[in-house]
């Protein structure tokens, strides 16, 4: 056989192998679900659902603003305690 025929034969064998493996995987995944009736239309009937609580709880804006105010106070306090070190770093870095 010529090299082009060898390539064609090899591609056909590999393609057939891949197609067979894909079919076996598909059957292995779908068959158990179908056997248990997972794809039956009777199971797809809609049912009523009661919603007891809102899906998204409302935000507590006051609590969020209090957390932000605490964070701002903490940042100001940290800046005050590190001001001398920052001045020294600026001086050492040549700014």
The pLDDT tens digits of the residues spanning 53-86 come to 777 888 899 999 999 999 999 999 998 888 888 8
What is the band of 40 on the pLDDT scale with cuts at 50, 70, 90? Answer: low
Instruction: Determine the pLDDT at residue 67.
Output: 96
Distance CA 66, CA 71 (A): 9
pTM beyond 0.95, yes or no: no
Higher per-residue pLDDT: 57 or 46: 57
| pLDDT over threshold 70, residue 38 | no
Q: Which residues of 7-39 are buried (b: 16+ CB within 10 A; e: fewer)?
A: eeeeeeeeeeeeeeeeeeeeeeeeeeeeeeeee
């Amino acid at each position: 056989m010529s090299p082009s025929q060898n390539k064609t034969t090899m591609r056909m064998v590999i393609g057939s192998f891949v197609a067979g493996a894909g079919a076996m995987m598909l059957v292995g995944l779908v068959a158990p679900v179908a056997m248990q009736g997972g794809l039956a239309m009777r199971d797809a009937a809609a049912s009523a659902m009661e919603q007891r609580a809102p899906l998204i709880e409302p935000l507590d804006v006051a609590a969020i603003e209090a957390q932000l105010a605490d964070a701002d106070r903490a940042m100001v306090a940290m800046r005050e305690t590190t001001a001398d070190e920052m001045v020294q770093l600026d001086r050492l870095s040549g700014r």
